[in-house]
Structures are given as structure tokens and as C-alpha cells.
Structure 1
């Protein structure tokens, strides 16, 4: 590879960082098996427990897959890619269903309670989101799209709903990543201008319908390509 010998402080974090760098840099290809724990421990000058803990953390984040009795394999080259691989089929559907229940109510409340300052923030975030999409900056798009949905919920000024939704941020972000890029081909963007307009018009019913509509579309189409809806 080679991997640098670690310092004594923060060994697990250092090992995680070096293993992540080896994965993202292509030293270990996706689908390939990484060296055994004993070899990694000798190369890095740390104990096997440190290696095992680092591998466990990277497996949790989706980069590695531990196969008992067989070894540890590279599953993805980044956390976003790992999330896309994890969030498929039933699990992705469940996340979208939970998002729908929270975002529909959040949009309805936002249309009732939003302030002029809230509306200006929503417009700014949506504009940044659309720029990221148009410029092909997928990671930025995922981050800002997730921020837009959280901002909509926050504009409802229901602190409990906001905190519930904030707690799902990682799952929401992963679902945005999974539904905005297909492994085989780019997917069309779903726009949110209709949702923003309904909130601006203080129309709770329309805002709720807009929020639920695009998620219903994703739930219906599954792995299919959603149509652009500006």
C-alpha cells in the first residue's frame, strides 16, 4: 500500500483515517478483500484490537463488509456510496415513508407559520440546491437538498417536530443520495419550486400536497427515474 506507522495517541481514529484513505484512493478496489487483521496490525504497528475496532467502524459506515470466516471486503469508496448501497429496497422505502409523514406536516405548518425571514432563507437554500444540480455537484446537491427539507420543517416553528426531523438527517441525506443518482445512469431532478410557492402563498393544503407528491412519486417508481418537476 504502504500505510504509515501510527503515533500512539488516537490510534483507532488514525487507523480509520488511513484505511479510509487506502479505500478512497483505490489501493483496495470495491469488491476486493483487504489484508487480514494480523497483516494490518504488523504494518501499522498497532494491536489487533485496534484494527478490529477500526474495521468495525468502517463497516458501520458502509465502506467495509465483514464476512465471517471469509475476510473483510471493500463495499464502497465513500460514506455516501455506502449509504446508497445500504439504502435500497425495503430500507429505502421505509425511510421515504417516514420522511413523508414528517415532511407533509412540516410543509403544512410552514405555510401557516413562516415569516418573511423564513421565506427568504428557503429561497436562498433552494437556489443553492438548484445551482448544485445544474453544475453537476452531486455531493453538494445532496447536502443542500437535505438542508432545504430541514429548513421547511423548521419554518413550521414546531420545535418537537424539528428535533424529530433533525434526528433523521443522516437517513434523509442518504435517501436523497440514493434517489438522485442511479448506479447505472443519472436520474432526473425533482424540483421544489411548487412547494416553495405554496409556502409563500400561505396555502397549507397545497404545501402538504406538494411535499407528499414528490415522495409518493419516489415510492411509486422505486428504482425508476423520477421526472423533473420544476
Structure 2
């Protein structure tokens, strides 16, 4: 990020020494990355963004976290609906990670049913609660946020295809099937509307291939990695 008040480079792998820029951070330096984004006005809280249904966006992120937990528990997600996923959340709430519980508190606040939850930058849910603000770097910021909140598979697919397919290769067959079905049913059916609802001013302009066709091209019809 060069054209900001406080320039820095964010390295997704090992931090590269000697770059011709004042500051260099790795993704594991969450507090420093968060401070950099805030100092430069590159992000905004989802619950304070205008023109979106913040509760719906946060609830969907929570559903994706449930799916991730279900994968670890080897629960079959074949044909799972949104209602099924939220039923699993109630059934296995004690096994859900801190991200889910923090987002749940934030949703309750947004709905007027709870006090404001403090979610600091070192909390695993923090980067799930923000989105890119209206700046020339919005697309790059959304890519960065998708790497910092990888359980949000919809944002990962829209904003960072390379990271999405790298993650896809490590998922179980049941999670792969769920993700493909979800993206086909709820994203591809109205790509422009979904991007506008999620990102508003900075909705990515790319029109990706149909999800099933794109996945088969990259990883094979049964998830086999093409080399």
C-alpha cells in the first residue's frame, strides 16, 4: 500500500526484508495490520456501513463458521439448508469457536438485544467484523480481509480466488459439496446483487465463470488437483 498516509507492505507469507517501504507486516501481526488499516481509513465496521443489512451479512458469516466446525466433526452437510445450519449451531453451540460467539453478540447488538461487545484486533473474530471502506485500495483491502477471515467462504471466493482454491483442496468432500451448492444457489443466481449487498461502493467488478465450471477447471470434478 503506497498511496496512503502511512505506507506499508503486508506479506501473506514470510515477511520480506529490505523492501523499499517504511513498514512491513506479516498476517500473523494482527494488531499491527489492524492499526495500519485503521490509521489509513481503509476499513469500516460492517455494522456501521450504510445501505446494507449488517445483521444478515454477519449471520451468513456465522453460518460459514458452523460449516467449518461441522467439517471438523465429520457431520454430513449434503443438502443442508440455512435452517439446517442454524439448527446445528444451536445443537453444537458449545463446540463453536470464539469467532461465532463474538459475531453472535454483535448481531444481538445490531438487533437491539444486547450491549456493544468489545472485539479487539487480537480477537479471532475481529477481521470478520469489518469491510473495505470507499478508497482506491478497496479491492486490495478486501483481498487482505479475506485472508484474515478465511472461514467466510463467500468473501474468499469473490475477493481472492487463489486463496479460495488453495483452501478448497484441503476441505472434506462434504464441505466442498456444500460450498459449491451454496455459491451456485445463492451467489451465482444474482452475482451483481450479492456483491452490492456485501460490498456496496467497492463491489468487485469481475464476472467469474459459473462456480461448478470454474471449480472443475481448476481442481477437477472430484477435487483432484491438476498439476
Report the TM range for the smaller structure's normalisation: under 0.3
| TM-score normalized with structure 2 length | 0.24
CA radius of gyration, larger in: 1
| TM-score normalized with structure 1 length | 0.24
